[in-house]
Amino acid sequence: MTTLTAHDTLPQTVEPRNDGMPLDLDWVMRATANRSAIERRAATLPGRRSVKKDHQAAWLARAISCIDLTTLAGDDTPGRVARLCAKSRQPVRRDLLDALGLPGLTTGAVCVYHDMVPHAVAALDGANIPVAAVSTGFPAGLSPFHLRVAEIGESVTAGATEIDIVISRRHVLTGDWQALYDEMAAFRRASGPAHVKAILATGELGTLRNVARASLVCMMAGADFIKTSTGKESVNATLPVSLVMIRAIRDYYQETGIRVGYKPAGGISKAKDALTYLALIKEELGDRWLRPDLFRFGASSLLGDIERQLEHHVTGAYSAAWRHAMA
Ligand SMILES: O=C[C@H](O)COP(=O)(O)O
């Protein structure tokens, strides 16, 4: 059993970017996924006492530092984004942060649609918190290709330093790996210095084998992160899909020496689920991946539950969920 402790010492290194490699179709086609073995392994993860009680607060704080605090709604406004950014700067009540000895804790990033990028950039001025923009015709990714590429450039110009692109699911479903590679490589080029998260929309890819292959192709084409979902599919982040994707990340690292990040997104709203994901990452990839430069949660409501748990840790009492509204 893995024990997460608060005392893991991790090097503060700057990870080299993934510049990708030529498409290796033999490797892609060798990638498989044994669904029953993966589901059995995933079923063992929740509910395990993988985080000791004493260390839970430290690990919940770690989870906060890895959240891409997200709002992706048609009725987003500058005011809502400003409130979300304030929450990102100070994710937990000041007295709780002080009691935990973590006065400078922030979320990993704020994630918004393109039109909200300037508002997020302004609200986060001086905070050193990246703004991530969902892009390329998010969530379906079916707008004209040149517009999807242009959208990336617009968001980078507006100040986004992370771009969450959506892949064309049809390239996976038809097995056109070259087309997927070319698309991802073009998105990476358009992003310039901004880091790119490739959203696979795994709930729409049909099989775990497709998830494994799409993960590899996106990494070969230069994705800095691979991300499960937009949050808009009917099935979003799951543990079996996460196992497949992080094992692809592990294979890519073993083959190339390059660490690609992982972002489960969509439907992760409970502190205990966040701890399960952290334990999974620790077991499958190791401590180095448990940092915001290599791991993020894409989540709109997870922070509220973590804050409640931290409040309970410090004060011994739970507050009502409505007190932890996000925006
Ligand atoms: O990328 C982030 C997701 O859209 C957030 O999904 P959620 O609202 O289910 O947490």
* Least trusted range by pLDDT, from 26-35, 119-128, 143-152, 312-321: 312-321
Q: Does residue 9 form part of some domain?
A: no
Q: How many whole angstroms separate alpha carbon 278 and alpha carbon 152?
A: 30
Cβ-in-10-Å burial (0-12, 13-18, 19+) of 174 comes to exposed
Q: How large is the C-alpha radius of gyration of the chain? A: 19
Among 263, 282, 293, 305, which one carries the catalytic annotation? 263
Q: What is the pLDDT of residues 28-67, one digit of tens each?
A: 999 999 999 999 999 988 866 556 666 889 999 999 999 9
Phi first, then psi, for residue 297 (nearest 5°) are -100, 130
170 C-alpha to ligand 1 centroid (Å): 22
Cβ 70 under 6 angstroms from ligand 1: yes
Q: Does residue 279 form part of some domain?
A: yes
pLDDT at 46: 86
Q: Does residue 194 form part of some domain?
A: yes
Q: What is the CATH number of the domain that holds 310?
A: 3.20.20.70
Question: Closest Cα partner for 76 from 322, 317, 300, 323?
Answer: 300
Contact between residue 230 and residue 204 where contact means Cβ atoms under 8 Å apart: no
| pLDDT beyond 90 at 4 | no
Q: How many whole angstroms separate alpha carbon 147 and alpha carbon 185?
A: 16
| pLDDT beyond 80 at 5 | no
Q: Does residue 209 form part of some domain?
A: yes
Q: Does residue 180 form part of some domain?
A: yes
pLDDT at 1: 43
Considering only CA atoms, which residue is closest to atom 6 of ligand 1?
Answer: 266
pLDDT at 323: 66
Peptide bond into 11 cis (omega under 30): no
From residue 13, give the alpha-carbon distance in Å to each of 153, 196, 255, 291: 28, 19, 21, 10
230 C-alpha to ligand 1 centroid (Å): 7
Q: Does residue 280 form part of some domain?
A: yes
pLDDT at 289: 97
Q: Does residue 15 form part of some domain?
A: no
Q: What is the pLDDT of residues 265-284, one digit of tens each?
A: 999 999 999 999 999 999 99
User: Looking at this predicted complex, what is its ipTM?
Assistant: 0.96
Q: Does residue 14 form part of some domain?
A: no
The total number of structural domains in the chain stands at 1
Ligand 1 atom closest to the CA of 263, numbered from 1: 1
Phi first, then psi, for residue 134 (nearest 5°) are -75, 145
Q: pTM of this prediction? A: 0.94
Beta strand extents in the chain (DSSP E only):
67-70, 109-112, 131-134, 162-166, 195-199, 225-227, 261-263, 297-299
What is the residue-averaged pLDDT of the chain?
93
What is the residue type of 105?
A: L
Q: Domain range spanning residue 106?
A: 25-324
